[in-house]
Structure 1
Amino acid sequence: MSVGSKLKRWIGEERVEIARERLGDIAEQSLERHLRLAVTGLSQSGKTIFITSLVHHLLHAHRSGSLPFFEVAASGRIISSRDLSATSAHPFPFNQALAGLSQDPPRWPQSTTGLSEVRLAIRYRRPPGLRRLLGETGTLYLDIVDYPGEWLLDLPLMELSFEQWCEQQKRLFAQAPRASVADGWLAQLQQIDWLAPADAAVLQRLSNAFTEILQQLRSGPDGLSLLQPGRCVLPGEHAGSELLVLFPLVLDHWPAGEVPENSYLDLLQRRYDQYCEQIVKPFYTRHFSRFDRQVVLVDCLKTLNRGEACFEDMKEALSAILQSFNYGRSGFLRRLFSPRIDRVLFASTKGDHVTANQHHNLDRFLELIVEESQRNIRFDGIETRSLALSSVRSTQAAQATVDGQQLSCLRGLRKDTGEEVALFPGEVPTELPGPNDWSDERFRFIDFAPRRLPLNELQAKHHIRLDQVLEYMTGDLFR
């Protein structure tokens, strides 16, 4: 072979190699992963605590060893993580929440009152078999949105007319505790001619009274969940808007005949439609319709403690919410035009408030609560799992001797008194409670104060199963 031929061959090989490297660079950039994770839950289900702990452990996952069942971290493949949340118009208050959990004594973060966003960039080494084809490293961008659980309850309204919503509320307000809390307001509704010309002052007065009823039902001993409209409970940026002068007509008989323009009924119907169109729909479209995967947080122990009304109301609220999400398999083309949630984790919070031998019971109990929703989700071919967890562990395992036998207990500080206690918190049922279970005050799970979460030197003992959550929700994206 001549020198000229060799040179041409060498130049050709170089060009091929350069082209291969460029294609590799393009492939690496195009294969950067993006995951939008919906952390869903009703009010006070632990969303802010969950997100704070999740971000904290991920930012230290390259060196802490606190996530033994999160494969990419346990194998040492995470290079580093970066918090990009500051680029958001509404950054998640991570530093503020972490400061509260890491101070002495620690305190739980404040309840969410508005929308905020987290964005993490997680740089990792690819497994050996993929490095040659896709490059040495990759990046996963993880987006999480935090929001008040009250707002989530508005999503089902998008599929209901005003009359249908009123019929739903009529059924709810016929039952305790709503019936007794709202008896005076319900009586006032019966006295008004809803087809008469509307008086703005009357509507404002009835709306204010309805909002007070919702607040009482939310914060009262029953702690109800299914409270709509959610923005009446927590208005956020819509405080003072006339769109929140809204309430259901809970009437013995629906007004018959043609609805005159500018009548009470006409105005309420139009305002309901405007509320759905101008508040609910934009919020849903901007955030929830674009999620890829979903964590649904449920505080089972709180609902057991508060009794039958709270428990049944929470079940109905969860069922209504889950029907609003757009489930289905996420193929590549589908994801370009119509993203769908393809994996759902149901997580029971406060796993540290029961002993380790009760975690299986807590898993099972949560499965029973969401059984129908989970069955419908699986029918669409979507992966689901139920898991008990603790985002920030508040207790330590302890042993006590009773009648010569060893009994598993918990040691921690009571949230209400700050007193240190060691006790057996009780058993989690493996069947849904019956009438007798509520009447004999069977459930009395203690609420514990947080233990300090260190700023560094995180360990697996600082959470329960948070690493399993990360592996289930993101593990396949690091392979």
Structure 2
Amino acid sequence: MSQISDLLFESRVVAESVADYLAGGRLRLGVTGLSRSGKTVFITALVHHLTRALAGDAAKKTHLPVFRAFAEGRIAAAHLDPQPDYGVPRFAYEEHLAALTGADRHWPQSTKRISELRVSLEYRAKGWSLRRSLGQGPTRLDIDIVDYPGEWLLDLPLLEKSYAQWSRETLEAAGVAARAMIASEWRGLTAQADVKARYQEETAKKLAQAFTDYLRAARSDRFALSALPPGRFLMPGDLEGSPALTFAPLSVEEGEDLPYRSLGREMERRYEAYKAQVVKPFFRDHFARLDRQIVLVDALAALNSGPEAVRDLETALTGVLTAFRTGRASLFSTIFRPKIDRILFAATKADHLHHTSHDRLEAILRHLTARAIARAEGVGAKIDVIALAAVRATREAMVRHEGESLSAIVGTPVAGERIGDEIFDGEAEGAIFPGELPADPRNVFRGEALAVSEEEAEFRFLKFRPPVAALGREGSLSPLPHIRLDRAMEFLFGDRLT
């Protein structure tokens, strides 16, 4: 039955791919990243630049030099169109833009569910075009942006794991230095659980709640850990309280014969239901149809928390690549079976650093993703790594301090942020000396203890409010400032605009 289901799935993917190709240029761009990595801000800024950069005097003031189709003046129009998947929520672009640019400017709510938005670009092709040669009108590229939580991506490897294997790996991970303290209550309950005892719903709820509390604590700013599947435990939505989210790892052996209606047998059934009813539909309906992918990474949060958090981020990023259907695109694969042939890893919030550290941030992310990149490149996918700020919240300045000129960043820290005894009110600007990242990226792994206080942290990066929105001469909103967003555009879809 499973083989028949898989065959039907592949047939549907082929049919959709042929229909998309005949209808015109289309690219499905996946945007993901772990919590608070800036997915919503990235998509909002990307769409804002594409749709506003050509309007009025904004075109004279906006510079996207690395995005060649724009720099060469070949994009004739850009606009939002109805999305193709009517059963998927629309990405709330207008609402998020208003949050960034309104009078009380603030960062929009983070991604908690899948959403989609279509941006259509009309452009002048540089060379031969199949559609133009067939007289099918102006050359157009529809970019379907699919926004989904990175936590869901980390669930995909579960499809290949049994309950016993997942339980063993999860319990082992909870015993390392970075997790042992926050996992102690849950591990204590697990140690007392009798996997062969008759199943009781109250016991299952207590174990699942303790496990969820551990996952939430691990994800908090204090610890900033990354490898935390199952992802829906942190973003339950309408599944909250359902049996599919009421399970937890237990100490069971592979192939162990557990009694009927025992705690261990029921936990295993619920784990398998989670894979079948939550993880697999996401893979089939959305993930497997992507062409390009950007993975946003908040490396600065891990650096804030210390070497253990950095190591955990490396583990998570390595796991990310196991989920991708990667492979070099060809005409045949474009028509008949899409594969993700370009993946961009992006270290966000580069504006929290002076530009002299931007390349170092890239080097750190490249080091963290080295194993993942080697695996993906081995099957033909093109990979790049950048440091960017989709919306630049700071500017740079030279500041005199104790008779010395120092490179600083200037912005409005979020209310409650602090440096030493100074607490910011969210209104006044501050000049911050962020320091320099190490020239050797291997240095971020040095040390064993997880930094749990401001005094212990080697790095300290503040959170800033969005910049004050600028208006053009005609009163329209000017494109938001950014760092290297144009480079991301060029890598992700610039080749499709030639």
Q: TM-score range by the shorter chain?
A: 0.7 to 0.9
Compared with structure 1, are the counterparts of its residues 431 and 264 closer, same or farther at alpha carbon in structure 2 (3 Å cutoff)?
A: same
Give the match's secondary structure for 1:182: helix
Name the counterpart of 2:232: 231
Residue type of the alignment partner of 2:277: Q
The aligned counterpart of 1:137 is 138
The alignment status of 1:424 with 2:444, answered yes or no, reads no
**How big is the shift at 1:257?**
5.3
Structure 2: how far apart are the matches of 1:177 and 1:255?
A: 27
Check conservation: 1:355, 1:408, Cα contact below 8 A.
Answer: yes
Matched, 1:178 2:188: no
What CA distance in whole angstroms lies between the structure 2 residues aligned with 1:289 and 1:86? 18
Return closer, same or farther for 1:391/1:400 CA change in 2, 3 Å cut-off: same
Distance 1:407 1:186 in 2: 48
Question: Does 2:478 correspond to 1:458?
Answer: yes
Where does 1:345-360 land on structure 2 (aligned, <5 Å)? 345-360=344-359
Q: Deviations over 1:327-357 (max 9, x none)?
A: 1112222234432111111111011111112
User: Is the deviation greater in 278-287 or in 424-433?
Assistant: 424-433
**How big is the shift at 1:239?**
2.3
> CA separation in 1, counterparts of 2:23 and 2:127?
16
Q: Distance in 1 between matches of 2:469 and 2:310?
A: 31
Q: Distance in 2 between matches of 1:141 and 1:150?
A: 27
Query: Which of 452, 455, 458 is the equivalent residue of 1:442?
Result: 458
Alignment of 1:287-436 (within 5 A): 287-401=286-400, 406-415=405-414, 416=417, 417=424, 418=426, 419-429=428-438, 430-432=440-442, 433-436=444-447
Counterpart in 2 of 1:32?
24
Cα separation, partners in 2 of 1:201 and 1:255, compared to 1, 3 Å: farther
Does the C-alpha gap of structure 1 residues 48 and 162 become closer, same or farther in structure 2, counting only changes over 3 Å? same
Cα–Cα, structure 1 residues 146 and 256, in superposed 2: closer, same or farther, change >3 Å?
A: closer
> What pairs with 1:233-312 in structure 2 (closer than 5 Å)?
233-249=234-250, 251=251, 254=253, 258-312=257-311
Shift of 1:179: 2.1
Q: State whether residues 224 and 305 of structure 2, in contact with CA within 8 Å, keep that contact through their aligned partners in structure 1.
A: yes
- Aligned residue type for 1:376: R
Are 1:83 and 1:120, in contact at CA under 8 Å, matched by a contact in 2?
yes
- Residues 198 and 264 in structure 1, CA contact (< 8 A), matched pair in contact too: yes
TM-superposition CA deviations, 1:163-185 (whole Å, max 9, x none): 11011112111123432223233
TM superposition shift of 1:128: 6.5
Distance 1:187 1:92, change over 3 A: same
Residue 195 of structure 1, CA deviation: 1.5
- 1:101 corresponds in structure 2 to 100
Paired position in structure 1 for 2:16: none
Maintained 8 Å contact 2:179/2:218: yes
Identity within the alignment, %: 39
The one-letter code sitting in structure 2 at the alignment partner of 1:473 is L
Contact kept, 8 Å, 2:360 with 2:441, in 1: the verdict is: no
Give the gaps of 5 or more residues in structure 1. 1-28
Question: Shift of the alpha carbon at 1:121?
Answer: 1.2
Deviation at 1:407, TM superposition (A): 3.2
AA matched with 1:61? A
What does residue 13 of structure 2 align with? none
TM-fit CA distance, 1:105: 3.3
Aligned-partner residue type, residue 492 of structure 2:
M
Task: Give the Å deviation of 1:381.
Answer: 2.3
- For the pair 1:120 / 2:119, whether they are aligned, the reply is yes
Residues of 2 paired with 1:406 and 1:369: CA distance?
33
Distance 2:151 2:302 in 1: 16
Please report how far the alpha carbon of residue 466 of structure 1 lies from its aligned counterpart in structure 2 after TM superposition.
0.8
Tell me, yes or no, if the aligned pair for 1:453 and 1:462 is still in contact at 8 Å: no
Q: 2:77 aligns with which of 77, 80, 85?
A: 80
Q: Answer whether contact 2:217 2:223 (CA < 8 A) is retained.
A: no
Counterpart residue type for residue 36 of structure 1: R
The worse-fitting range, judged by mean Cα deviation, of 274-283 and 206-215 is 206-215
2:487 to 460, 465, 468: 468
Structure 2 SS opposite 1:57: helix
CA distance in 2, matches of 1:458, 1:71: 20
What is residue 167 of structure 1 aligned with on the other side? 168
Q: Which runs of 5+ in 2 are unaligned?
A: 1-20, 418-423
Q: CA deviation at 1:475?
A: 1.0
**Offset at residue 192 of structure 1 (A):** 2.8
**Cα deviation per residue 1:199-227 (whole Å; 9 max; x = unaligned)?**
12211222122222222222251022222
1:450 aligns to what SS in structure 2?
A: coil
TM-score by length of 1: 0.87
> Secondary structure of 2:224's partner?
coil
Cα distance in 2, alignment partners of residues 37 and 146 from structure 1: 9
Residue 379 and residue 338 in structure 1: after superposition, are their counterparts in 2 closer, same or farther (change >3 A)? same
Structure 1 residues 134 and 364: alpha-carbon distance in aligned structure 2, compared to 1, 3 A threshold: farther
Letter aligned with residue 317 of structure 2: L
Three-state SS of the structure 1 residue aligned to 2:30 is strand
| Cα contact 1:85–1:117 (8 A) shared by 2 | no
Residue 48 of structure 2 corresponds to which residue in structure 1? Answer: 56
**Matches of 1:148 and 1:257, distance apart in 2:** 34
The 3 A distance-change label for structure 1 pair 408 and 243 is same
> Residues 367, 406 of structure 1: CA spacing in aligned structure 2 closer, same or farther, 3 A cutoff?
same
Q: Which amino acid aligns with 1:408?
A: S
CA shift digits 1:210-266 (9 cap, x unpaired): 2222222222510222222211111123223211111111x3x74995222221111
State the 1:404 CA deviation: 6.4
Q: Is the 8 A contact 2:112 2:148 kept in 1?
A: yes
CA distance in 1, matches of 2:150, 2:132: 45
AA partner of residue 84 (structure 1)? D
CA gap of 1:160–1:348, structure 2 versus 1, over 3 A, is same
Aligned length: 449
Look up the equivalent residue of 1:450 and give its one-letter code. P
Give the 3-state SS of the residue equivalent to 2:177 in structure 1.
coil
C-alpha contact (below 8 Å) 1:42/1:152 kept by paired residues: no
Contact 1:162–1:269, Cα closer than 8 Å, also in 2: yes
Residues 237 and 115 of structure 1, relative CA distance in 2, 3 Å threshold: farther
Looking at CA atoms only, which structure, 1 or 2, has the larger radius of gyration?
1
